[in-house]
Structure 1
């Protein structure tokens, strides 16, 4: 699975490079610094990663249509840029300094000049990335009807993911229960995976019934990935994740495993855990204590079980579609990889 996914990821990366080449050239002719910004955007997008979102679009497409030609790869380049437009703004709001082992864009430009310049430049580059995503889909050679449908999905889900980010930010300042977390998460990674699966299905000519099934599958896969990503933030080491652990907790965020720990643990330990929420500079000892409190309260295992449950639902729904068996197997193997990674954290 990893080799296959890596191969599809390389195809998407090459498409992103080719697509951005023209804009890098034109922007350099406009102004040398703007050209540098486009080069920085390319470097940011192409940092080492699994490309799971855009590869999901590609896998679903090939499950209904033959081959992986230029048209679908251009559309996948758009999906990849869409994903990174969200990440650029997310990094800025969360004040993250690293993303996949490199500097975040706002951090990079802040060091060159000051924080206002860094945040402003990153804001505009995130906007540019979104416009380039839209343009890539428009430039693909699919029918006008299919492109219009996918672009409508892009606009709808971009609005949704921004709504979820508002709630994610709000949750740093209030107590949250599981139901409210689920409301927020229903438009976060769940929104992304509904978009990626449905885009591939629409462009590949999937039957209407499969679109409904894939939308539900995308929601479940998104929940599973979301929970896993939050667990990684708390429990992975910096050399594994490319940034310092417990960053979300330091900001006061309420991922599912923290909510579960606060609800399940003793009052004394829940209060001890609550004291760490929003404490930006956490020592290694404090991070270890946070992990102990979450595990002792059963928050980690409860969240892992929820992630596994959503993963199984997503796999079952994918098996119900009419896409070819190889694509189904690759998609479900990708989900299995995520579920298996949960066992790294005990």
Structure 2
């Protein structure tokens, strides 16, 4: 039986064998740098898992998996430029280590390289995989655009936010699974159910991320708690709080959102207390669990190897049940 952990190793070995540096080195060294920063390689692993559900020869999906991983890292590179982020995975971002022009051009090259990997997919399914990948890629860009627009808007709705995280985060996980399924010669119904599994898990994961930023354990969450509150980032929790607060609670929340000078810990504690009084924490838990249950329902409908379906169930649980 092949496990997700084993597929993850296959992806890592394949990436380690790739040599991203050629001439001109100034273009390709940043690509090598970005790809060497690590990560859990979840998306390419899901691509292989999607294939293995229907076909023992999961290696057939490896080039598509590499395409997905290069594309994912391309989006991170360009996101860092747009956000002016200085650190990625505890290392300097490309535009800091080199410069902004290099980051933009190397990112462009990564996108093209992703399509080069994708072109190695078997011709019998190439068009279907290419169409899916292109649609997914444009949706990720749409999600990023919405996210940027939300920074300057004061009237973002819960539905708008959920659609944004679906586009920015969930569709790439879903598309990775479906691409693998297509390569594994799954029928359209099974491939669609698998896509729905990935989409709903992606939504649940992002909502969990929002929740943990406020209520998580800093040691296990892996980053400082309260960063979204400090930055007034429009998360599921803040949007719900703004929609549901009234009277003195609304006044207090608006004060903390609008204040320019503040004590970091004091603001985090105050906003968290407002969330608790409104019950936003339970609203977030419920929504997250709803998406999780939808994901498992979709997975149950997939007619594939039971052993890999069980692996995907366990993967979903581990992904969502991170320490709180």
Match of 1:91 in 2: 80
Kept in 1: contact 2:142–2:167 (CA 8 A): yes
Match of 2:149 in 1: 170
Match of 1:72 in 2: 61
**2:296 matches 1:315:** yes
Match of 1:328 in 2: 309
Distance 2:261 2:136 in 1: 31
Distance 1:121 1:131 in 2: 15
Match of 2:136 in 1: 157
Query: TM-score, normalization: structure 2?
Result: 0.88
Shift of 1:246: 3.5
Distance 1:144 1:133, change over 3 A: same
Instruction: Structure 2: state its 5+ residue gaps.
Output: none
Shift of 1:193: 2.3
Shift of 1:280: 9.7
Distance 2:183 2:91 in 1: 34
Distance 2:5 2:271 in 1: 34
Kept in 2: contact 1:88–1:104 (CA 8 A): yes
Match of 1:183 in 2: 163
Alignment match of 1:256 (pick from 236, 244, 249): 236
**2:36 matches 1:36:** no
The 5-angstrom pairing of residues 1-346 of structure 1 reads: 4-19=3-18, 21=19, 23-24=20-21, 26-27=22-23, 30-31=24-25, 33-44=26-37, 47=38, 49-69=39-59, 71-109=60-98, 117=99, 119-139=100-120, 142-174=121-153, 175-236=155-216, 240-277=220-257, 283-341=264-322, 344-345=323-324
SS of aligned partner of 2:238 = helix
Shift of 1:258: 1.5
SS of aligned partner of 1:173 = coil
Kept in 1: contact 2:86–2:92 (CA 8 A): yes
Q: Deviations over 1:286-310 (max 9, x none)?
A: 2333333323322222112111111
Q: Please tell me the root mean square deviation across aligned C-alpha atoms, in Å.
A: 2.6
SS of aligned partner of 2:173 = helix
Distance 1:337 1:283 in 2: 31
Distance 1:15 1:102, change over 3 A: same
SS of aligned partner of 1:64 = coil
Shift of 1:201: 0.7
Distance 1:282 1:332 in 2: 42
Shift of 1:284: 3.0
Distance 2:256 2:103 in 1: 29
Q: Deviations over 1:119-154 (max 9, x none)?
A: 322222222222221111213xx4213122212211
SS of aligned partner of 1:186 = helix
Instruction: Structure 1: state its 5+ residue gaps.
Output: 110-116
Query: TM-score, normalization: structure 1?
Result: 0.83
Kept in 2: contact 1:294–1:300 (CA 8 A): yes
Distance 2:212 2:101 in 1: 29
Distance 1:192 1:267 in 2: 41
Distance 1:310 1:280 in 2: 37
Distance 1:130 1:280, change over 3 A: farther
Shift of 1:35: 4.5
Highest RCO, 1 vs 2 (Cα 8 Å, sep ≥ 6) = 2
Number of aligned positions between the proteins: 321
Q: Deviations over 1:190-218 (max 9, x none)?
A: 21122111111111110121122223223
